[in-house]
Structure 1
Amino acid sequence: MKTELSISGMTCGHCQAAVTKALKDVPGVQNAEVNLQDGSATVEGDASAQALIAAVVEEGYGAQIRQ
């Protein structure tokens, strides 16, 4: 399953790395790609969208399902 997220608050490569690590640490995530330029993340695996969003918010960034 692929989940697309919009991420807000990222301003640098460190932010991108922090969000990527947070997403990859969620149980059930097989891969996570975070794009700093357009503020998006693509996550593969069976983790719920709520768990992914909670992980990003816990790192101090905003997240929502990408429409």
Structure 2
Amino acid sequence: MKKVIINGMSCMHCVKHVTDGLMEVDGVTSVNVDLASKTAKIEGVISEEQIKEVIVDDLEFEVVSIEEI
């Protein structure tokens, strides 16, 4: 599982966009986005590059950190 800290999310609409965007990546089995802690927990097979492509390039949020948990 990967934990991603994301800057720029401000509402549940943002949470839905991040969740939907990450779930579209082949190999991702579940995504849990928490607005209060500004984190996304991702289960499945996804690279850091793929995470950044979805969150930064597609959705225009900022990835602060990515860690394996």
Fold equivalence (TM over 0.5): yes
1:11 aligns with 10
Is there any run of 5+ residues in structure 1 with no aligned partner, and where?
none
Q: Is 1:59 aligned with 2:40?
A: no
**What is the alpha-carbon distance in structure 2 between the residues aligned to residue 40 and residue 53 of structure 1?**
14
**What is the alpha-carbon distance in structure 1 between the residues aligned to residue 33 and residue 48 of structure 2?**
15
**What is the alpha-carbon distance in structure 1 between the residues aligned to residue 3 and residue 52 of structure 2?**
11
The CA RMSD over aligned residues, in Å, is: 1.4
User: Post-superposition, which runs of at least 4 consecutive aligned residues in structure 1 deviate over 2 A?
Assistant: none
Q: Scaled by the length of structure 1, what TM-score is found?
A: 0.89
Number of residue-to-residue matches in the alignment? 66
Q: Is 1:21 aligned with 2:20?
A: yes
1:62 positional shift: 1.0
**What is the alpha-carbon distance in structure 2 between the residues aligned to residue 66 and residue 16 of structure 1?**
19
- Identity, in percent, stands at 30
**What is the alpha-carbon distance in structure 2 between the residues aligned to residue 21 and residue 15 of structure 1?**
10
